Structure 1
Amino acid sequence: MIDSMLILIAAAFLLAGFIKGVIGLGLPTVSMGLLALTMAPGQAIAIVIVPAIVTNIWQTFGGPYLRDIMRRLWPLIVGTVIGIWLNGGLLTGPYAAYGTVILGVLLVIYAIVGLCKFSFKVAQRDEKWIGGIVGLVTGVISAATGVQVIPSMPFMQAIGMQKDELVQALGVFFTVATVALAFNITAAGLLTAATALPGAVAMAASFAGMFIGQAVRTRMQPDVFRRWFLIAMIFLGLYLAVGGFLKIHG
């Protein structure tokens, strides 16, 4: 039983790390989506949290834009931390059962936004206050599902960050948000010694997947891979949302 679960965790993080290596993001989103097929989101995020923090720290210091990123994104970051802190009981409270449904819906939205390549801009004078609101919404969503890509990533794209700066900005933002989430799940009793072995397996598989993905990225078209990845996320999200809803109301 334990061995089969560890194999599932290793496979999920190997795939998630591979995707992150190819397109620069997706480790928490993919791993949470896959693990949620067999466990509650609260249990899944306890396994995801450490690999997510470490891989995002790796990404944070992979470029020269850190000072400019902090200057532009601090309202988004602060808002997200506040949103996570204010809603710390969502993973274990009376509405925790809806976490799988919400996660499924978010995966579908995330994939559709990516496929449609919605293009909208946020004026520089409006970055701060809009960033704070987007951060609060992202924090609430993250507290319930462990996923932080909606609506934070579309916002970062909308303020005009270039490719390399955006990749580093995602690393900075996800590092801070994931650390804040780690305090939540620790306080809720979800992050315990029992998660150490699954977390270690997840960490090793994540880095193995990232290295493979980075090697493959030089030999394939990332846009083609990203398109099929997003299509797969739609089907996974629909499966989680419908399955979770039927489980609650069945």
Structure 2
Amino acid sequence: MFLNLDYYSIILMLLALSLGGFVKGVVSFGLPLVALPILSFVLNPKQAIFLLFFSVIAVNFRELKFKNFKAYKKIIPLSIGLFLGIIIGSVIFHKIENNFISQMIGFTIILCAIINYSDFKINSDLLLNIFFSITYGFFCGILGGMTTLVGPLIAIYLVSLNLKKDEFSELVSLTIFSCLIPIFGIFFIYQEIIFSDFLLSAAFAIPAIFMQLLGFKIREMLPQDTFKKVILLMLTIIGILVIYKNW
């Protein structure tokens, strides 16, 4: 899957995983959101998503502490919708052209950036509606299956629940971690992966993990809102460039 990589590609791949891990450490989500648009300049979407395989497992697993079992019941309807939607979205991902996937990634990045930048929250009455939660999860799942950018949409839902900071971080990671099973399960059905591909994906998880540790320290010192808005502005610009490149 990863043949004839030049130095430019390797440097950009390291940059993408490092920045993605750092942002994940600071705001609890964002590794694919940051890494995918950068990777799209040197890899096709299927290569880029598999390169993230070990990284997204590692950085989300690190934040699973299982301290907040009582909060888990709040996301059961969301999780049901997510699981169903991701199966459909993942199948669609393998049936459509790479350029269209890249365009979808670009549009999704811009949409997520605008929504998160505006601090949009879902009405509390809707959050109590099981049908809405399942439907919202289903929509997020389809989009997440096609792009792996499910984290920001999950974050919008969890922020609207007004969770404590540690509950929010844990539930974001738990939900994303659970999404990886259908995403990569279907990926392995459709794509031929060799042992060297796994080694490369594992090697690129190292900078993501180290930069996540740095992000944890920044999370304690820097106002997250300030950092998040700077990142989201940067992502909007990158998203526009990704769409332009693949139009």
TM-score by length of 2: 0.89
Residue among 15, 34, 39 paired with 2:38: 34
User: Hey, what's the Cα distance between the residues in 2 that align with 1:203 and 1:47?
Assistant: 9
| Structure 2 residues not aligned, in runs of 5+ | none
| 2:49 counterpart letter in structure 1 | I
Please name the residue that 2:116 is paired with.
114
User: Hey, what's the Cα distance between the residues in 2 that align with 1:6 and 1:69?
Assistant: 41
Identity %: 18
User: Hey, what's the Cα distance between the residues in 1 that align with 2:57 and 2:16?
Assistant: 17
User: Hey, what's the Cα distance between the residues in 2 that align with 1:150 and 1:133?
Assistant: 16
1:180 aligns to 2:182 (yes or no): yes
1:117-150 Cα deviation digits (max 9, x unpaired): 1233232773422221111111111121121035
Per the alignment, do residues 227 and 26 of structure 1 end up closer, same or farther by CA in structure 2, a change over 3 Å counting? same
Please name the residue that 1:19 is paired with.
23
User: Hey, what's the Cα distance between the residues in 1 that align with 2:96 and 2:88?
Assistant: 16
Please name the residue that 1:90 is paired with.
92
**Equivalences for residues 1-250 of structure 1 within 5 A:** 1-2=4-5, 4=7, 5-61=9-65, 64-65=67-68, 67-123=69-125, 126-149=128-151, 151-189=153-191, 191-245=193-247
User: Hey, what's the Cα distance between the residues in 1 that align with 2:235 and 2:192?
Assistant: 26
Runs of 4+ displaced beyond 4 Å: none
Contact in 1 for aligned 2:30/2:152 (Cα 8 Å): no
Per the alignment, do residues 111 and 94 of structure 1 end up closer, same or farther by CA in structure 2, a change over 3 Å counting? closer
Per the alignment, do residues 95 and 122 of structure 1 end up closer, same or farther by CA in structure 2, a change over 3 Å counting? farther
Structure 1 residue 190: deviation in Å?
Answer: 5.2
Structure 1 residue 68: deviation in Å?
Answer: 2.2
Contact in 2 for aligned 1:41/1:91 (Cα 8 Å): no
Q: Secondary structure at the match of 1:94?
A: coil
Q: Secondary structure at the match of 2:93?
A: coil
User: Hey, what's the Cα distance between the residues in 2 that align with 1:125 and 1:154?
Assistant: 11
| 2:37 counterpart letter in structure 1 | G
Structure 1 residue 199: deviation in Å?
Answer: 0.8
Q: How many residues align?
A: 243
Per the alignment, do residues 86 and 211 of structure 1 end up closer, same or farther by CA in structure 2, a change over 3 Å counting? same
User: Hey, what's the Cα distance between the residues in 2 that align with 1:22 and 1:7?
Assistant: 23
TM-score by length of 1: 0.88
User: Hey, what's the Cα distance between the residues in 2 that align with 1:204 and 1:94?
Assistant: 31
1:42-70 Cα deviation digits (max 9, x unpaired): 11111112210221122122x521x2233
User: Hey, what's the Cα distance between the residues in 1 that align with 2:32 and 2:153?
Assistant: 15
1:148-200 Cα deviation digits (max 9, x unpaired): 03533212222332322111110110000122211011111154424223212
| 1:81 counterpart letter in structure 2 | F
Structure 1 residue 9: deviation in Å?
Answer: 1.9
Please name the residue that 1:248 is paired with.
none
Deviates more, 1:173-182 or 1:17-26: 17-26
User: Hey, what's the Cα distance between the residues in 1 that align with 2:193 and 2:224?
Assistant: 35
| 1:91 counterpart letter in structure 2 | F
User: Hey, what's the Cα distance between the residues in 2 that align with 1:41 and 1:50?
Assistant: 16
